[in-house]
């Protein structure tokens, strides 16, 4: 990472956290004092317990817009971003596929790693046109736009147009789509390919079929990492 990228990522992370808290407050039926208490409880929980906590109080992580109608950021955490950056440095991928790029926070971490390595490309996909515009602006501001090929539109349509194989794939779309989407990307995997999938804790029920598929398939070694949202790290054997 360098100074320019860090300066761009910091406000993006802050924006994502503020939007998430504002969304939760809007959903919560109680008063401000009760909400502040619940927020403190949530922040102190182990990551694996946070999804159950949200469900207990009827709070959702699936909203796509703020109360003002702007698209939600739903960005990876700084810790998760650093993990993606370090994993890319270790794996030194020739090709990365990112399914669900939002405003480009995870894209910036990947692109920064490729710039450090000096080679590689990212194919990034995002459905929302406003997010795509902001993503490109963020990439240009960080000076890493040359490492990214952005595909705007439906993620399944984008996958249907791909060829070749990928060293790393990051999935961060609607959790209910994970199993169907994973089956679509399987032809692009090769021994040693890594698939990182977000929201294993925060969408525990929605990802159950996906996790069962992985655990029952001898072609993959998979483990859930204890980041806040729960991250599945899958390697093709």
Q: For 151-170, write each residue's pLDDT tens digit.
A: 999 999 999 999 999 999 99
Q: Note the pLDDT tens digit of each residue in 82-118.
A: 999 999 999 999 999 999 999 999 999 999 999 999 9
pLDDT exceeds 50 at position 217? yes
164, 95 Cβ separation under 8 angstroms: yes
The answer to which of 33-42, 77-86, 166-175 has the lowest mean pLDDT is: 33-42
13 pLDDT band, cuts 50/70/90, is confident
Bridge-partner residues for 234, per DSSP?
A: 195, 222
Q: Which residue has the higher pLDDT, 28 or 135?
A: 135
Residues 6+ apart with CB under 8 A from 100: 125, 126, 155, 171, 172, 173
* Rounded mean pLDDT, 223-231: 91
Reported as a pLDDT band with limits 50, 70 and 90, residue 59 is confident
Mean of all residue pLDDT scores within the chain: 90
Do the beta carbons of residue 136 and residue 150 sit within 8 Å? yes
DSSP count for the chain of H helices, then E strands: 9, 7
Q: What is the DSSP string of 27-60?
A: H--S-HHHHHHHHHHHHHS-HHHHHHHHHHTT--
Domains of the chain listed by start with CATH number? 1-237 (3.40.50.150)
CA distance 198 to 13: 16
């Amino acid at each position: 990472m360098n100074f320019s990228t860090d300066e761009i990522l910091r406000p993006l992370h802050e924006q994502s956290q503020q939007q998430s808290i504002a969304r939760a407050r809007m959903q919560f039926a109680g008063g401000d004092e009760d909400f502040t208490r619940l927020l403190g409880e949530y922040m102190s929980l182990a990551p694996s317990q946070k999804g159950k906590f949200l469900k207990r109080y009827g709070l959702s992580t699936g909203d796509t817009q703020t109360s003002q109608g702007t698209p939600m950021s739903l960005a990876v955490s700084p810790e998760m971003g650093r993990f993606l950056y370090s994993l890319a440095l270790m794996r030194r991928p020739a090709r990365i596929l990112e399914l669900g790029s939002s405003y480009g926070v995870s894209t910036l971490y990947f692109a920064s790693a490729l710039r450090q390595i000096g080679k590689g490309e990212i194919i990034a996909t995002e459905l929302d046109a406003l997010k795509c515009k902001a993503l490109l602006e963020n990439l240009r501001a960080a000076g890493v736009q040359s490492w990214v090929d952005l595909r705007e539109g439906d993620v399944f349509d984008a996958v249907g147009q791909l060829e070749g194989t990928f060293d790393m794939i990051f999935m961060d779309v609607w959790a209910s789509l994970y199993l169907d989407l994973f089956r679509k990307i399987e032809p692009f995997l090769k021994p040693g390919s890594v698939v990182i999938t977000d929201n294993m804790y925060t969408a525990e029920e929605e990802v159950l079929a996906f996790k069962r598929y992985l655990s029952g398939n001898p072609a993959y070694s998979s483990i859930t990492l204890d980041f806040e949202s729960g991250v599945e790290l899958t390697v093709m054997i």
